[in-house]
Structure 1
Amino acid sequence: MSLKPSDPVVRAFVDAVNGGDRDAFYALLAPGATMTDDGTERDLDQWVDREIFSSDGRMDVESESDGGRTLVASYTNSTWGTMRTRWHFTVDGDRIARFDTGQA
């Protein structure tokens, strides 16, 4: 059973990913939001389309720290299968300004 992150904005992010809800996902992002994958800056729109929405991405959260803003999750998509990943979120008010992900 997947843990629900205690930070409400991060929890909504996970729910949007797992629900395949692109509109809800983008509504959570602050204007100009950025991200990294394994330490490399990525084009957020291209990455999100390829790694989440076009490949049926899903997060099964295993643990959290930093008040629910850092997660370890099993991440699954139809391109790469399942891998253990780390996610860190920079939250600004009720939006995500940045997220960093990579293998855990």
Structure 2
Amino acid sequence: MEPEEETRRVPLDRWCVLIEETVGHSSYLRWELTRIKSFGSRADALAEAANLAKGYEPQHPGKGRSRRIFRTGEDLWTVQVRGAKDETSHFRVVVAKPETP
């Protein structure tokens, strides 16, 4: 999965919501940044991040049936999702501001 088109070049004065998750299949699983969405204010980014922690459907496990949400920092959520066959996976939702390299 590729980050959203609108966020490839985010202005430095914007706040972003990032999602990191496991993608791929079988022996090709990898941890990847799959979504970047920008916002004009930190408050808007935090609201969207909280919503994504509650409702985002990660690639793994397929057909999530339950989730546990942990607010692990002021701008960070770690979400564990349990799938139909009791498999679990997790993803992170992060609020961040771009910096120059």
Q: TM-score range by the shorter chain?
A: 0.3 to 0.5
Structure with more strand by fraction: 1
Structure with more helix by fraction: 1
Larger radius of gyration: 2
* TM-score computed with the length of structure 2 as normaliser: 0.33
* TM-score computed with the length of structure 1 as normaliser: 0.33
